[in-house]
Amino acid sequence: MTHVLRYIKKIKQTPFFFILGRPRSGTTLLMTLLDASPATIIPVECPVIKNLYPKYGKKKFWTEKDLLEFYTDLTSQTFYNHYKFTDLNYDFDSIREDLLFLPGKNTFGELIKVVYSNYKSVFPKEEIRSIGDKNPDSSNFIYTYLKIFPEASYIHITRDYRDHIMSVFKAGFDFPSVAMLAFRWKMIYRLLEKVRVKHPDKFLKIRYEDLVTEPEKNLKAVCNFLGIEFSPAMLHHEQFIKNKDLYPKESMAEFQKSVVKPITTSKLYNWKNNMPQEQVKIADMMVGKFAESAGYERAFFKRNLNFYPILLLIWIRRATMLAFKSFLVFLPYKMRIRIRYQTSIYTRLKEGNK
């Protein structure tokens, strides 16, 4: 028992970090490369922090009943319609046992660390010196993360917004609109830059293009930022994933395709040859000056009158979604989670047309 308590105390003190950025921007690649380090562990994505925070985020004192309820809610989480939390490669008996050692004073963030430490990575591990999280929509949750994990570090990875848009279209998720995707790219970039300026010591910004062009140089910079040693195994991550299931369901096989191969530059700036000029123009107009701020060159600079009706529709849709999210807050926890992670209308339409 003393040994377990020492282990849990050490895990609670282990540094935590987040990988932030838009989906299809290299976040999964960076997650995999960092998990390939023997000193770092990053579970496959499932938004348990965001989902459980409204119910448990402010709790400071935990009874055994609270901890069992937390475990029940944890194991009922889903990643949209793709898989359940219980499909992931965790040692669930150990999670439950570790949690039951924690009656008394604990923060929500400390319990999350204990949960994540029981993830069984496909990569060999030694002493865990850093625990990470990578999840869709994490960037929008940044201010809450700062409250939950005040000492955490944040890595913001960006990708050329035009390549990002093309990749989202190819993957077949998110809203199928160039203007909307460019708008979301800009809003996330602007949000994270604003937070980075306020907390410069906590943030590291890298570009997907730089990561795949000079992987060793950029991974060393990330490791230095996180306070862990660079491991050559990180550059050969695909050798550990072969013949193993990183993601738990066939529906997620597309995600694994990109990380079972060596790091490549083949996907850089595909938009230049494959994106219609009208789409490039819309994306450039929507992102505006933030393109140069992120290190990307625009092909078009001037806005035309046809752009403003598109912008108005986007703002109307955004206002509607924000109002809907505000409404969800007042619903019971389980109902709120069910509604939030129902399959999107766009996905249903796609599946219905197959």
* Lowest pLDDT segment from 76-80, 146-150, 334-338: 334-338
Residue 267: DSSP 8-state = T
Q: Which of 17-26, 82-91, 332-341 has the highest mean pLDDT?
A: 17-26
- What is the average per-residue pLDDT within 178-183? 91
In tens, the pLDDT along 190-233 reads: 999 999 999 999 999 999 999 999 999 999 999 999 999 999 99
In tens, the pLDDT along 279-309 reads: 999 999 999 999 999 999 999 987 766 666 7
The total of structural domains in the chain comes to: 1
CB 140 within 8 A of CB 184: no
Give the model's pLDDT for residue 242: 62
Q: What's 205-222 look like in SS3?
A: EEEHHHHHHCHHHHHHHH
Rounded to 5, what percent of the chain is helix, strand, coil? Answer: 55, 10, 35
Give the model's pLDDT for residue 301: 87
pTM of the model: 0.87
In tens, the pLDDT along 43-75 reads: 999 999 999 999 999 999 999 999 999 999 999
Helix count and strand count (H, E) for the chain: 19, 9
- Pairwise CA distance, residues 27 & 158, whole Å: 9
Which of these, 341, 354, 318, lies nearest to 76 by C-alpha position?
Answer: 341
Domain span at residue 274 reads 2-352
| CATH number of the domain within which 8 lies | 3.40.50.300
